[in-house]
Amino acid sequence: MTRDGAPTRAEVCAVAIAECFRGDGEILANPIGTIPMIGGRLAKATFGPELVMTDGEALLVENIVPVGVAQPDKVVAGWNPYRAMFDVVWSGRRHVIMGASQLDPFGNQNFAFIGDPASPKTQLLGMRGAPGNTINDKTSYWIPAHSPRVFVPEVSVVSGVGHDRAAALGDGGRFHRLVHVVTNLCVLDFAPPDHRMRLVSVHPGVTVDEVVAATGFELVIGDVGESRVPTDEELRLIREVIDPNGLGEQEVPS
């Protein structure tokens, strides 16, 4: 199947994800989620061939595997079962892109549960690997539906460690590297001196006011750019090679 026409929002998001991995070098690029996987594979297929990636499970693959295809051809280069993944993470050789149910201004992340630890109002995923990922490795977040329910002044429980908490650890937080947040509306980072979340760029067709209205705390806003649109070659790779079934569109509809 081929798709024509102007870049979609989902495709802009995939490019923004790909850009998160630029300059990472020979590390395990580990994007979790549909558009993150599209973006990560796009980075590897273009400016980041040195990135190491998995098939989503225990294999390291060197070819660009399409998302959501039942039995894709895999060029298997390595074995990375869960136990080996901890070796990668704890030795600082990974950049993970995780989701979040809640994120606060310093990037403290929650996807464990909402409410009282003894009997939460809403049980979510649990801590999963977030505490270990964030204290050891480069981390970014992907938020497919930017809203004040996700971007909150204070998270219910901290699963992924934010900048203020890492700074409070002093030397103990020296491997903490929380860099980007990509959403369906914009790209954010933590570049200000106090590491508060900053609006970097809005996706084409999105206004700064829309982002502000969809965020439950005050963002740092200076020179806000427009997110890069995919090149013709990137569009071809997304539409023909990486996401032939248009799964990105399901995560972020036009």
Shorter beta-carbon distance to another protein: residue 166 or 238: 166
By three-state DSSP, how is residue 79 classified?
A: strand
The full DSSP string for 204-251 is: TT--HHHHHHT-SSPPEEEEEEEPPPPPHHHHHIIIIII-TT-HHHHH
What is the identity of the amino acid at 43? Answer: A
Coil/strand/helix, residue 93: coil
Nearer to another protein, 108 or 227 (CB): 108
SS3 call for 198: strand
Q: Are 175 and 136 in contact (CB under 8 A)?
A: yes
CB of 137 to another protein, least distance (A): 11
Smallest distance from another protein to CB 149, Å: 17
Structure tokens given for 149 = 């329910």
> Sheet containing 53-54: which strands, arranged edge to edge?
53-54, 59-61, 76-79
Shortest Å, Cβ 169 to another protein: 5
Q: Position 162: which residue type?
A: G
The distance of closest approach from Cβ of residue 81 to another protein in the complex, given in angstroms and rounded to an integer, is 4
Least separation in angstroms between CB 122 and another protein: 7
Binding site residues, another protein, CB under 8 A: 57-59, 79, 81-83, 86, 89-90, 112-113, 117-132, 134-136, 157-161, 165-166, 168-169, 171-173, 175-176
CB of 19 to another protein, least distance (A): 27
3-class secondary structure per residue, 16-78: HHHHHCCCCCCCEEEECCHHHHHHHHHHHHCCCCCCEEECCCCEEECCCCCCCCCCCCCCEEE
